[in-house]
Structure 1
Amino acid sequence: MSQATTGHLAKIFVDHQDALLDGWLNSMLSRLVRRDKAAEAEIRQQAARFIPLVARALDKGQSYDIDQASWAEVRHLLSDISAARARHGFTPTETATFIFSLKEPLFALLRQTLEGNSSALATELVETGALFDQLGLFTVEEYQKGRESIIQLQQHELLELSTPVVQLWKDVLALPLIGTLDSARTQVVMESLLQKIIDTGASIAIIDITGVPTVDTLVAQHLLKTVAAARLMGADCIISGIRPQIAQTIVHLGVNLEDVITKASLADAFMVALKRVGASVTYQNAV
């Protein structure tokens, strides 16, 4: 694909904007899987913005290379469209169709304009096809970036939801952990626990690992980091949910938990925590 334009494509975008827009919208809307007035109105608005920007880029930069500065506004619009479609649950194919469906009415106008000049028509069809392939691929890439950003945000939100810090008693917090404990989750766990310690002034935090399937050296180190961080904030930690298999694994790995109180169950840990804060539970016989 040559970099310099012939001028034919720019002239079509300038002289036939209305016809091009109508043909493009008919092509796009006929392929829509989800049909609703709001979606159609948004597509019409996006298409109406896109055509003048392409015309300006072709005229200003006189280049088919969309990485050039003259195409910056076009790239920005396509990035916004792709990100919006990623948020709204569109597929990559539906997103790319925004660009590729413009080829058909555009090629028809090229044939009409360059009728009788087969050499120029052949060149322009090839160059135009390659240009819109670039724009289509750029759209898909931006869509993927948008999806990745959404997925990362959802993962972070899930991490926060999966690490709730609850107040069991005055000065006593509990942090039940379920699932694998990796570096990213440890950071969220630590931040949630430390913030709760600040908010409540708690002096005891119970970290319950009953729902953690396996404990290896890395998980144990993450736990120790969390305990150390809590201590720096003035709260002691009790680790509960130490099953026989986990106890054997910790011993086998040589992880030092000697200065950390551990209990088999959350209930046992809670009783220890109550004693540490000077509280007790009494049972009354029914009269």
Structure 2
Amino acid sequence: MTTNKQGTIEKIFVHQKEIIDEWLHEQFAALSARQDLISELDLRRQSTEFLALFTPACSTDNLTDITQSEWKPVLDFLGSVSRSRAIQGFSPSETATFVFSLKQPLFARLRQEVGADAVLLANELWNTTVLIDKLGLYTTEVYQKSREEIIKHQQAEMLELSTPVVKLWEGILAVPLIGTLDSVRTQVVMENLLQSIVDTGSSFAIVDITGVPTVDTMVAQHLLKTVSAAKLMGANCIISGIRPQIAESMVHLGLEFSDVVTKATLADALVYALRQMGFVINKPA
């Protein structure tokens, strides 16, 4: 742990206004292409708030061990800034620039304060470099975690949107599938379908695979799991949208759907379900 017994770095913050102005200049120079994401007013506010927390932390004997309690308010604030910038669309390097761009103003003030003492200046510059580097790396770590959380949330939302459960008729539900069907998506399909069966009391569920490009052994197993889950909930499941190419592939793979009602189109599946419910379907004259 590097200590701050000389107390030099906190002394330079008597020039806080000048430091903020110089810091803002450095930040806008680095973020010249992204000024549409944050205004000068917001950037000044964030910079002022940061220095208000950073200054007392620098006044302690512990200068570079940011795991200590005196640095917690600083880390909390940087975490908040990093998460907000991840949402706004800043890159990791642009986010870290918020901290790294503070080096130039601090170095300039340190040279003015202790420039006559080369040894002390070297020590203070090194301590400040270590401190700023650690804080900058911390912002990058928080940014990365925030982006991962955002991506996971977006993926979950896309799965929900890509597996809608549609009520076609009283007692008849349909799940139109488009794209590749994997284990994660199958789980979402089953959960949405089973919950909809419970909510609507439906007795028929149509799984339409017209938009599924290929059906291999794994996809077939996923479909059968969905059908079995629906049956356990008391709903008859129909698979529709089996095109000739898919039917041929299923035969070659030796896939068995003997216990499952299959139809060529969603319309055929709906007609079948309606007839099973006692409706009479007549073609127009």
Q: Same fold (TM over 0.5)?
A: yes
State the alpha-carbon separation in 2 of the partners of residues 120 and 3 from structure 1: 14
Residue 80 of structure 1: how far off its partner (Å): 0.8
- Counterparts of residues 71-90 of structure 1 (less than 5 Å): 71-90=71-90
- Is structure 2 residue 3 aligned with structure 1 residue 4? yes
The residue that corresponds to 2:140 in the other structure is 140
Task: Work out whether residues 61 and 70 of structure 1, in 8 Å CA contact, stay in contact via their aligned partners in 2.
Answer: no
Structure 2 partner of 1:27? 26
1:17 corresponding residue in structure 2: 16
Distance 1:67 1:215 in 2: 53
Cα 1:60–1:220, aligned 2, differ >3 Å: closer, same or farther?
A: farther
2:282 is matched with 282
Cα deviation 1:13-42 (Å, max 9, x = unaligned): 4x3333322221232234432436962222
Where do 5+ consecutive residues of structure 1 fail to align? Answer: none
- Quote the Cα distance in structure 2 between the aligned partners of 1:158 and 1:108: 50
Query: Deviation of residue 251 (structure 1)?
Result: 4.1
1:265 aligns with: 265
Deviations, residues 100-135 of structure 1 (Å, cap 9, x unaligned): 111111100000110210111112112211221111
Q: Aligned-pair RMSD on alpha carbons?
A: 2.1
Cα separation, 2, equivalents of 1:38 and 1:92: 15
Alignment partner, residue 234 of structure 2 = 234
What's the counterpart of residue 221 of structure 1?
221
Superposed CA offset, 1:144-178 (max 9, x none):
21111111111111111111111112211111100
Deviation at 1:81, TM superposition (A): 0.6
For 1:126, the equivalent position in structure 2 comes to 126
- Which sits farther off after the overlay, 147-156 or 240-249? 240-249
SS in 1 for 2:59: helix
Per the normalisation by structure 2, the TM-score is 0.91
Going from structure 1 to structure 2, the CA distance change for 1:252 and 1:61 (only over 3 Å counts) comes to farther
Aligned AA (2:72) = A
Matched residue type, 2:191: E
> What SS class does the counterpart of residue 129 from structure 2 fall into?
helix
Q: Which amino acid aligns with 2:48?
A: A
What aligned pairs does 1:90-109 form with structure 2 within 5 A after superposition?
A: 90-109=90-109
Q: Conserved in 2, the CA contact under 8 Å of 1:164 and 1:175?
A: yes
Counterpart CA distance in 1 for 2:242 and 2:36 is 55
Q: CA-to-partner distance for each residue in 1:227-260, whole Å, 9 max, x for gaps?
A: 1221222211101122334334434444442211
Q: Distance in 2 between matches of 1:132 and 1:90?
A: 20
Contact 2:63 2:131 in 1 (8 A): no
Q: What's the secondary structure of 1:177's corresponding residue?
A: strand
Provide the residue aligned with 2:152 in structure 1: 152
Contact 1:172 1:205 in 2 (8 A): yes
Q: Deviations over 1:165-206 (max 9, x none)?
A: 111122111111001111221122112212222222211011
Give 1:264 deviation, angstroms.
Answer: 2.0
Q: Distance in 2 between matches of 1:231 and 1:61?
A: 68
Whether the aligned pair in 1 keeps the contact of 2:63 and 2:127 (CA below 8 Å) is: no
Gaps of 5+ in 2: none
Change (3 A) 1:215 1:231: same
Q: What SS does the corresponding residue of 2:64 show, helix, strand or coil?
A: coil
- Tell me, yes or no, if structure 1 residue 39 matches structure 2 residue 28: no
C-alpha spacing 1:113/1:160, structure 2 compared with 1 (3 Å): same
Tell me the SS of whatever aligns to 2:35.
Answer: coil
